[in-house]
Amino acid sequence: MPISIYYKNEQTQVCTLRPSPLVSISSNLNKVGGENVGVTYNIILTGTILEDRGSPYALKTQDNSPFNYYDDTVPTGIGPYGQFDNSSGHSEDNMPKVQPIPNNAKLDAIFSKQRAIKALFSEDGQKLEIMPVHGDEPAVICFPRVVSIDFEEGNYVHRCDYTITLEADTLLNKDLRVDAEGNVVEEGLKPALSGPNSSMTSDTIIALSGAFINDFSESWSVEVDDERSENLSQPRTYRITREVTATGKTHYFPSDDGTKVTKIPAWQSARDYVVKRLLPPESGILQYPNVGPYGYMHKDNQIGSGTLNLFNSYGGFNHVRTEDVDMSAGSFSVSETYVIASGTSYEDYNVSISQSLDSAFVNVSIDGTVVGLDTITPSGYGSPDGTPTLGTYPNTAEHIGSGKYQNALAKYNMLSNSGQFGIISDVYKRANNSVALELNSQPTSISLGMNEFNGEITYSLDFDNRPTNIISGVLSENISVNDTYPGDVFATIPVLGRKTGPVLQYIGTRTEYKRDLQIELQMDYTNLHYGNGQRELVTQKPSIVEPTRTQLRQLIQSMSPAYELGVRKYFIEAPQESWSPKTGNYSFSISWTYELDR
């Protein structure tokens, strides 16, 4: 049973060990947590070095030249130091000739053979063939890693016993077909083989490489995050953390024609295994379970099931992955974190109420922060054009994953009625429900802050219970009425020397009735026309455009004394109107002088 090693994987450097060592092959299944993650074949070669015969040949210490045969011919060989025979059979014609070694050189001869064997097995991944006696075709082929080379103690005169320990991940037959019986892994990681004797091509090895590991670990944890809440009915969110770590084995495999050998580093084998362990969100969004409005990465619907019962209403967001590669240790790990929530964002807010003696109104302030949750997976950020990749909900139409800011903006628009507020907005309802009176649905002040990178929107609004605006399309209005009633008309007559002052003389009549009306409006910026022409600057003032024109006329008519009982006649002084088209400030003043019938 000759053993042949392709020195440095050169097809012309096939070195044969003579006498042929005994071979022991054992299969050690790699089990982690009861799960089989592959196999390691331990191959032990137990052989003997003879000082005057076999392969490698013996060399002289003086000049490293080989000892001659009995017939004075010089051995020619291959491999390290040219000491190895390249014949594979055990027939009489293939046996190396005897090299007569002088007694004083026997130790040198054995040491030179030890050196040759150590050089032959100095590299991992060299092709090794175990040949039958007939030597026609190899029975077993592998590309092992060298674990140890041990030479037993002795006087090294006639012989030296040695043990070479190797390990391999796969065993091949003469056609380079893989023996897959030891590489049984879970269904999602099984090699893409058409059968147990499928060709050991590079594609097959790459498919198998997910199993070439020594160890792995996978852990999940779910914890409550009380600092984040979505709303009053969902006062908490959760965080899921997943850690997957593997330590790989350096693997060697042949090219499709068997002439070259490729090396897969240990860290890359570990990486391939970890990547296959991960549930790949290739759709660009998180994986969606069969229930719940949103999905999240999970392990067979078991994480949180039966303990927290998150699957019916919660989904996963803010998927973050971090990688850790230790090339020297051959390890690779991935850490994943998710925020588990029932919606695509969360929010917190504060409400404060104030009232003072110098104001007739109650003031309610509400400020909050909306933080969006990310439905784009880490791979979704890597699309060529920088946009989220297209994904699909199970059993639903196609969907594009959205980022934090988009979801925060959607939440804010829902809370604020798309920034219009009013009685249907959630922000107004919260403020109004905090007091026992009716607040004006239009806030007195609005302050917004946006952070697109963090996906945050902050808002601060003030409401009060001022009466509802009469004029539509205005942010604020102020209406003041000043009535001047009749007074006595008298003459003031100065008198020289009169200590009590002038003489006041009533002349038998009284002053007129008078009413002044002042209307001040601050128009909504959305109703302003930012232009330079007459149409934008003049013809868009509130007293011209509808419905403000009609509302102003009705308001003025309702304030006029013309329709009050007992008014016999009235006169209108010249009205005054002021319009600032750039700021939206508008004012109108009018005065009436009138007379009663009695």
pLDDT tens string 474-521: 888 899 999 999 999 999 999 999 999 999 999 989 999 999 999 999
The answer to whether the beta carbons of residues 345 and 230 sit under 8 Å apart is yes
pLDDT tens string 362-410: 999 999 999 888 877 666 555 444 444 433 333 333 334 567 888 899 8
pLDDT tens string 312-326: 566 777 778 899 999
* Annotated domain spans of the chain: 3-168, 187-341, 345-468, 475-485+511-596
**What kind and span of H or E run contains 269?**
helix 266-277
Which two tokens mark 237? Answer: 């969110």
Between CA 6 and CA 1 the distance in angstroms is 16
Residues of the chain with pLDDT under 70: 88-96, 135, 179-211, 227-236, 256-258, 279-314, 377-402, 525-536
- Cβ within 8 Å of residue 89, ≥6 positions away: 2, 131, 133, 134, 135
Q: What pTM value is reported for the model?
A: 0.64
pLDDT tens string 172-221: 888 777 765 555 433 333 333 334 444 444 455 555 545 688 888 888 88
SS3 380: helix
Q: Is there a cis peptide before residue 547, judged by omega within 30 degrees of 0?
A: yes
The answer to whether the beta carbons of residues 469 and 475 sit under 8 Å apart is no
